[in-house]
Amino acid sequence: MIYLDNAATTPVPRAVADAMYQVLTEQFGNPSSQYPMGVEMKAAVERWRAVIAGALGCKAESLYFTSCGTESDNWAIQAALWQNRHKGKHIITTAVEHSAVLEPCKWLAQQGYEITCLKPGRDGNITVEQVAAALREDTALVSMMLVNNETGCVFPVRETAALLREKNSPALLHCDAVQGFMKVDCDPEGWGVDMMSLSAHKLGGPKGIGALYIGGRMRNPRPLLPGGGQERGLRSGTEATAQIAGFAKAVELRQEHYEEKLAHMAALKEYCRAKLLDMGGVVPVGSGTAPHILAVSLVGYPSANIVTELGAQGICISAGSACHQGKASHVVSALGLDKKTAAGVIRISFSPDNTNEDVDALCVALKAHRDSRFPML
């Protein structure tokens, strides 16, 4: 199998699985228990928290474990709006956020909130000037992803944080960094981001574990899950110790030769882009600079068919259009592409383990697909 869909999820290295297995079978104590095994696991959870916080550049006590990025996004939005409930009911986000942000915003619109969705240019980018133009006195929250999961565009989170400080705005800033953590610069504490969402399975960790950074401007954040008092009373529930161990181990592995891994993925991306564009009939989609995501369109060839046929050959990519009943994804729709280009969008995403040979095989398969068919649109 040739796996080139690492923006969807990533394989778990053996060292990560081994770390989890040890916790499941030998270190299975409940961190809330008072006997030695429980006390040891409580200390282990805090060590693992410190590993992840260290990679994020924040204090360990600012990081809270959740079940996934979606939970982190929802908690951040709820907490921000609760804190600013007397400031206003205006939210700024982008039209190309993950559904974990856009769907809560749709629900909030039904509750009387006003949502401003910033639309990207044809290059897929959002500018801080757009945020400035949308900012109002009653803006309670700005929620902006760090890296778009379909185009790889890096959004101006750092600049937006600076803008809010410059304007002395009470609006809180949330960043969905699920696609950005350990792939691009990511410094919530240094930038002044109030909350940042993470997920383990995008970087070689297990599914079912995420985290939320909560910064100093969040005064007495509203608990997501009241209960037994875990996660300093803000997210109760017995800690998922094996998943947390796997998250920390995955971070440790990614940190080894970190710059080399980023350079390797960036070089693979450029190699793939050049080979695909040389085929003819392939156009780039967006100007994403994240090292691991490449979006292109095989113009006129429905992406769902491409993904299905390549999958049957053991080559895994995704339809950037995320076709649903023939409709393009909200991200592709927001770019304003013509119908044939939008229909053919595919996303190729890399890990440090991918090779030039993987790209070569992909290009051969795509060329064969194109040459054996007339455009269907």
Residue 233 CB coordination number (10 Å): 13
- The catalytically annotated residue of 58, 105, 175, 323 is 323
- Tokens 């969905």: give the residue: 176
**What token pair was written down for 54?**
């260290």
Cα 172 to Cα 80: distance, rounded to the nearest angstrom: 6
Phi, psi of 176 (to 5 degrees): -85, 105
Cα 273 to Cα 111: distance, rounded to the nearest angstrom: 44
For the CA atoms of 332, 334, 339, 343, the dihedral, rounded to the nearest 10 degrees, stands at: 10
Is residue 343 a contact partner of residue 253, using CB atoms and an 8 Å limit?
no
117 is a catalytic site residue: no
Is residue 214 a contact partner of residue 82, using CB atoms and an 8 Å limit?
no
Cα 287 to Cα 340: distance, rounded to the nearest angstrom: 19
Give the SS3 label for residue 316.
strand
Cα 10 to Cα 19: distance, rounded to the nearest angstrom: 17
- Tokens 């054996």: give the residue: 372
Give the SS3 label for residue 3.
strand
Which string of DSSP letters, residue by residue, matches 4-28? -BTTT--PPPHHHHHHHHHHHHTS-
Q: Where are the alpha helices (DSSP H) in the chain?
A: 14-25, 36-56, 69-83, 99-110, 128-134, 157-166, 188-191, 241-255, 258-279, 303-312, 330-334, 339-343, 356-371
Q: Output the CA–CA distances (angstroms, integers) from residue 186 to 151, 156, 157, 192, 197, in the order listed.
A: 18, 11, 9, 11, 11
**Catalytic residue numbers, as ranges:** 323
